[in-house]
Amino acid sequence: MMRRMSTAWCLRIATGDTYDLREMVDWRNDFDAQLGRAIREARAAQGDTWSWTAIGDAVGCSRQAAQQRWGRA
């Protein structure tokens, strides 16, 4: 569902819809913040049993990149 929505959104932006471009950027920022919150809360609830390696693998980055991005409070 999200891929179809984002594809349609991109097609609207490609036609010159700057309002949708701003909305997409705002949505991305909100999504990134919520993803970070979910990762931090899951690690806290699981007693840090979620390794940074596993998180990095799941999101397609290195352990170090995952910890740098989401390891801060």
Confidence (pLDDT) at 1: 75
Write down the pTM of the prediction: 0.74
The token duo for 29 is 């920022």
pLDDT score of 73 more than 70: no
**How many Å apart are CA 7 and CA 25, to the nearest integer?**
14
Residue 62 — very low, low, confident or very high, per pLDDT cuts 50/70/90? very high
**How many Å apart are CA 47 and CA 45, to the nearest integer?**
6
pLDDT score of 69 more than 70: yes
The token duo for 14 is 């490609």
